Amino acid sequence: MSKAIGIDIGGTGIKGALVNTKKGSLLGERIRFDTPDESTPEQVVAKVAEIVEQLDSDRKTPIGICFPAIVKDGVTLSAANVSSKWVGLKAEKLFAKTLDRKVILVNDADAAGVAEIKYGAGQERKGLVLMVTLGTGIGTALFMNGKLIPNSELGHLEIDGVDYETVASFSAKERENLSFADWAKRLTKYFNQVDRLLSPDLVIIGGGISKQHEEFLPLIETKIKIVPAESRNNAGIIGAAFLARKRLQPD
């Protein structure tokens, strides 16, 4: 069986599962821990090690880890909603050494987008497709005719003088106790700015809140076609596992 471990590291939670990379489905239950308060590399790597050991003792199983940062050549060049100690860190090497496994590290939204392009709502879609994950922040992944343009950071667009993920992410909705209608007004402003800049052919909404898409997607007033992610909040896990299998154990 084609399998790999997918780990999704976020600002509030670290979750992982064993994935069937042929079907893009989880092989069993996913494991989740809260992200440590300080979210330092040592703390996060320790939690990931716990998850991996519970999931699969076979050291030949490849591991894909997605992380809320710009990732280039295994180095985390930024750190969104985690410790600044990640910035400039050779994180992929740190994970591989600690876990004693083959590991790839990718941006979290890129991994989620890959899952949807490969198995979900973005399959066989031509043109410019944008994956947007709504969670602790706003993550984005860009695809042109199915090919990933890595490390887009469109959640950090400046609108009304602020980094707009600080007012339009799901965590902002929770923090300010916004209704879905009021949150949708902010998302409307965000997506209309994205439309002016990029004119995407399709937007796919992911993150845990995507399972409640009927509550807010119809309230977003935009010309863009917006659909929910089919793999919901497991997209990062599935995409990371797929990329690990593809790059580390090619058929």
pLDDT, average across residues 54-81: 93
Neighbours of 26 (CB within 10 A): 17
Instruction: Identify whether the C-beta of residue 233 lies closer than 8 Å to the C-beta of residue 211.
Output: yes
CA-angle at 211, arms to 36 and 21, nearest 5°: 75
The first and second tokens of residue 204, run together, are 């796919």
Whether residues 151 and 206 fall in one domain: yes
Q: What is the CATH number of the domain that holds 218?
A: 3.30.420.40
Whether residues 139 and 101 fall in one domain: no
The answer to whether position 116 is within a domain reads no
Whether residues 85 and 171 fall in one domain: no
Number of domains in the chain: 2
pTM of the model: 0.93
Whether residues 100 and 33 fall in one domain: yes
The answer to whether position 119 is within a domain reads no
pLDDT tens, residue by residue, 198-244:
999 999 999 889 999 999 999 999 999 999 999 888 999 999 999 99
| Spatial distance between the Cα atoms of 76 and 124, rounded to a whole number of angstroms | 31
The answer to whether position 158 is within a domain reads yes
Whether residues 216 and 131 fall in one domain: yes
Whether residues 164 and 67 fall in one domain: no
Domain that holds residue 20: 3-110+234-248
The answer to whether position 117 is within a domain reads no
pLDDT tens, residue by residue, 6-24:
999 998 899 999 999 999 9
Whether residues 130 and 67 fall in one domain: no
Buried b (16+ CB within 10 A) or exposed e, 56-91: beeeebbbbbbbbbbbeebbbebbbbbbebbeebeb
Whether residues 12 and 101 fall in one domain: yes
pLDDT tens, residue by residue, 135-148:
989 999 999 999 99
The reported pLDDT for the residue numbered 70 is 95
Question: What residue type is assigned to position 20 of the chain?
Answer: N
The answer to whether position 213 is within a domain reads yes
Nearest to 108 by CA among 26, 14, 197, 226: 14
